[in-house]
Chain A
Amino acid sequence: MTTSSTAIAIIPEGEAPLVDRPVVKAHIIAGFTFFFVSIFAGMFYALQLSRLYPFPGVELLSPGRLRVLHTNAVAYGFLFNNFIAALHWIVPRLTGQRVLSAKLSWVVFWAWQLVVGLTAVGVIGGQMQAIEWGETPVWVDPIVVVGAVLLIANTATPIIKVRERKLYVTLWYFSAMLVWLPLTYVMGNFVPQYFVPGAGGAAVTGLYIHDLVGLTVTPLGWGMMYYFVPVILKKPMWSHTLSLVGFWGLAFFYPLNGVHHFFYSPIPMYAQYGAVMSTIAVEIVVFTVIVNFFVTLRGSGDMLRKSLPIRWFYTGMVGYFLTCFQCAFQTTLTFQRLIHFTDWVVAHAHLVMFGVFSFWIIGMMVYLWPKLVGAPWWSDKLNGWVYWIMTISLFAMFIDLTIVGVVEGYLWQTLAPWERSLTAAAPFWHVRTMTGVGVITATSLQIYNMWMTARSRASASTPLAGEPAVAAG
């Protein structure tokens, strides 16, 4: 059952000249910088809902624009930067081949920062597109496409070089993702904008919203997990068959889900029914993946205590299970009547993008950062605190927004004046603002710890072989 899982062991952890460490490090630093910016944007939007907005009537700090800055900086600035770091770390190690070109890595790096930066400028300047997760202004879209193509050329080359061999699970996810990424982006950003109006455009937007999460973020996330979990636990995945089921189930069912973002809209009903059924099918597939990972952990449970990355990873997996379990219900038309348009959806989105993928990325960073800067963590205790503050804040936010979602849903059905739902939501929105303070605290502590770790390396007298001195935070 574990045939190709052992491929991991071929390439030992440690100094592998295969991996371009400065590139990995640069992406992680950029990613966490955007994370820091993004959570402040989210915080300001929360303050608006709490009616405590500090800059009312300032055009360039309009809460509506900051809300879009928040989601875009998280998706493209934080998540994708770190995913690119993961690609540059993992792919050469699994294939034994370097990426196509070290120079190209840097071109992609700067192209990506340019995209995120220009998107922020465009959104704040009032140039956004009306496509959820695709608000990137029209004139930035070509740079995204070029950046993505270069990224694909760079990271697919090592995989293509070993194509005769059976690939390890991680590489199934990564190579399929490299196909899906440009297709998804081009479809979502151009079709509803220029070619298809109204309900048809909404169907395509639904596909885009969902494919961006399901066909790029999710495969990258699971690809990371299939690599880092066995490496840290020092044992193969429990079941190779379940890995196969997980990948092929995702590939087949996930793309069919898109329309479930617009139930009861004027999109033809057969497309809506199809989306209900394929979404429920996805949750069954997800369950097999979760089982595989938790059985793999059997006998190594103490690693949850000893290894912080493992703790982040498995907490994220619990979040993933909750998200998908929840999704199997909320995708039904019965649930949709109540929860659609409410804060329930916001809770769900935060659980999956934050509670799962961001947690995995923080876990990866906790694992990689000492290797990248060549020094042990400045404070393990602080890392532990970050874990607990972040986890408690996130789950508190999730529970809070889920409850207020139900309250809003019922109040809207009763035909009470709309404002009644605002007064009912107010205390919940205050709690959400407080959880945001927790997230900002934890992130600040994490970044401070990263900074101090890098500094301790810079001031150490004995540089590691092949490692440049580090002074960046």
Chain B
Amino acid sequence: MEKLGTVTLIGGLGCFALAGVVEGYLPLAHLSKIKYQKLEEIVTEPSDEFKDLGRRFPDAMKKHYGEVNAASYREALKLGRDSYIAEACWHCHSQFVRPVSNEDIRFGKVSYSGEYMNEMFLPHLFGTRRVGPDLIRESGRHANDWHVAHFYDPTIVVPTSVMPRYTWFYDGETPNKRGLAVIAYVQWLGSWATPEAVARDERKRANVE
């Protein structure tokens, strides 16, 4: 119990491995039954919000992304996710809705493991702190112009906000490449679980049956 071999092999390696199996490998094995999807598989057409950005900022969109299509939308989503990480957004906004504390009423559908099994959640962005609200059901909650104002200076639309300004997402007052991307990204978060999307999926399933 007090010798180097015991301490390092049983205490060090053994206990670490045991925990790795119980708290790491078992959940992983369990979750790996859900199919992992690439972004190309889950995003096959540009969202309405992305098309709307193309109408509002045609020049910026043309300059940074070319045509509004599935490929440019996917490019924007990836850059948006990277900017979300680079600005540490995930330290003040979580990305999962818990089944308790009225969170389903406040935010929307409770999070389920299947929705995270794709390229966009590698790494996952669950977060551990909320200064601002959860964002996994953000899609469609606010209009694009709200986001354009909000990222530029949050207090324009939320006077008591403590969120920083992200003026480097803009050329003058027009969103630049990163700005368009990050708006497309937050408008994408939870687009598969809005009430409309859920109803659409149910209709589709009913038709198949």
B158 — nearest CB in chain A belongs to which residue? A419
Q: Write out, one digit per residue, whether chain A residues 255-273 have a CB within 8 A of any chain B CB (1) or not (0).
A: 1101101111111101100
Q: Which of B13, B101, B102 has the most CB of A within 10 A?
A: B101
The 8 Å CB contact of A345, one of B10, B23, B128, is B128
CB–CB A129/B85 < 8 A: yes
Interface stretch of the complex, out of B64-72, B90-98, B181-189:
B90-98
CB–CB A62/B122 < 8 A: no
Alpha-carbon distance between A429 and B166 when the two chains are bound, in angstroms: 22
Alpha-carbon distance between A261 and B124 when the two chains are bound, in angstroms: 14
Residue A346 interfacial (CB < 8 Å)? yes
Residue B165 interfacial (CB < 8 Å)? yes
CB contact under 8 A between A68 and B91, given known A266-B111, A419-B158: yes
CB–CB A64/B89 < 8 A: yes
CB–CB A175/B7 < 8 A: yes
Alpha-carbon distance between A68 and B99 when the two chains are bound, in angstroms: 29
- Which residues of chain A are within 8 angstroms of B101 by Cβ–Cβ distance? 337-338, 409, 412-413
Residue A251 interfacial (CB < 8 Å)? yes
Q: Which of B23, B26, B123, B130 has the most CB of A within 10 A?
A: B23
CB–CB A341/B162 < 8 A: no
A260 — nearest CB in chain B belongs to which residue? B23
Q: Write out, one digit per residue, whether chain A residues 312-341 have a CB within 8 A of any chain B CB (1) or not (0).
A: 000000000000000000000000111011
Alpha-carbon distance between A263 and B94 when the two chains are bound, in angstroms: 13
CB contact under 8 A between A197 and B116, given known A64-B89, A130-B85: yes
Which chain A residues (109-138) contact chain B, with CB distance < 8 Å? 126-132, 135
- Which residues of chain B are within 8 angstroms of A211 by Cβ–Cβ distance? 16
- Which residues of chain A are within 8 angstroms of B30 by Cβ–Cβ distance? 268
Residue A431 interfacial (CB < 8 Å)? no
CB–CB B106/A415 < 8 A: yes
Q: How far is the CB of B40 from chain A (nearest CB, A)?
A: 15
Alpha-carbon distance between A68 and B92 when the two chains are bound, in angstroms: 11
CB contact under 8 A between A265 and B111, given known A193-B123, A197-B122, A271-B27: yes
Q: How far is the CB of B189 from chain A (nearest CB, A)?
A: 14
Alpha-carbon distance between A372 and B137 when the two chains are bound, in angstroms: 56
The 8 Å CB contact of B4, one of A4, A163, A418, is A163
CB–CB A176/B111 < 8 A: no
Alpha-carbon distance between A152 and B133 when the two chains are bound, in angstroms: 43
Alpha-carbon distance between A268 and B87 when the two chains are bound, in angstroms: 30
Alpha-carbon distance between A99 and B78 when the two chains are bound, in angstroms: 47
Interface stretch of the complex, out of A31-39, A198-206, A227-235, A448-456:
A198-206
CB–CB B8/A179 < 8 A: yes
Q: Write out, one digit per residue, whether chain A residues 148-183 have a CB within 8 A of any chain B CB (1) or not (0).
A: 000000000001100101110001100110111001
Residue B36 interfacial (CB < 8 Å)? yes
Residue A423 interfacial (CB < 8 Å)? yes
- Which residues of chain A are within 8 angstroms of B19 by Cβ–Cβ distance? 207, 255-256, 258
Residue B206 interfacial (CB < 8 Å)? no
Q: Write out, one digit per residue, whether chain B residues 21-50 have a CB within 8 A of any chain A CB (1) or not (0).
A: 011101110111000100000000000000
- Which residues of chain A are within 8 angstroms of B158 by Cβ–Cβ distance? 419
- Which residues of chain A are within 8 angstroms of B15 by Cβ–Cβ distance? 251-252, 255
Q: How far is the CB of A247 from chain B (nearest CB, A)?
A: 7
B: interface residue count bin: 35 or more
Alpha-carbon distance between A49 and B118 when the two chains are bound, in angstroms: 34
- Which residues of chain A are within 8 angstroms of B8 by Cβ–Cβ distance? 175-176, 178-179
Q: How far is the CB of B80 from chain A (nearest CB, A)?
A: 13
CB contact under 8 A between A67 and B102, given known A183-B16, A270-B26, A274-B22: no
- Which residues of chain B are within 8 angstroms of A62 by Cβ–Cβ distance? 87, 164, 166
CB–CB B167/A198 < 8 A: no
Alpha-carbon distance between A160 and B7 when the two chains are bound, in angstroms: 12
Alpha-carbon distance between A201 and B126 when the two chains are bound, in angstroms: 10
Alpha-carbon distance between A266 and B113 when the two chains are bound, in angstroms: 5
CB contact under 8 A between A341 and B123, given known A251-B11, A265-B98: no
Q: How far is the CB of A132 from chain B (nearest CB, A)?
A: 6
- Which residues of chain B are within 8 angstroms of A184 by Cβ–Cβ distance? 16
B126 — nearest CB in chain A belongs to which residue? A202
CB–CB B85/A266 < 8 A: no
Please give me the 7 A-B residue pairs with the lowest Cβ-Cβ distance, nearest first.
A198-B116, A179-B12, A255-B19, A126-B86, A64-B88, A264-B98, A266-B113
Residues of B within 8 A of A (CB): 1-5, 7-8, 10-13, 15-16, 18-20, 22-24, 26-28, 30-32, 36, 83, 85-92, 94, 96, 98-103, 105-106, 111-113, 115-119, 121-126, 128-133, 158, 160-162, 164-168
Beyond the given A203-B24, A252-B18, A418-B133, please list 4 additional residue pairs across the A-B interface where CB-CB is below 8 A. Answer: A172-B2, A198-B124, A266-B96, A345-B128
Residues of A within 8 A of B (CB): 4, 48-49, 51, 53, 56-57, 59, 62-65, 67-68, 126-132, 135, 159-160, 163, 165-167, 171-172, 175-176, 178-180, 183-184, 187, 192-194, 196-207, 209, 211, 215, 244, 247-248, 251-252, 255-256, 258-259, 261-268, 270-271, 274-275, 336-338, 340-342, 345-346, 409, 412-415, 418-419, 422-423, 426, 429
What are 23 A-B pairs at a CB distance below 8 A?
A57-B167, A64-B164, A128-B85, A130-B125, A132-B91, A163-B5, A172-B7, A175-B12, A179-B12, A187-B24, A192-B124, A197-B118, A247-B11, A255-B15, A255-B23, A256-B22, A265-B98, A271-B22, A271-B23, A274-B22, A341-B128, A412-B101, A415-B105
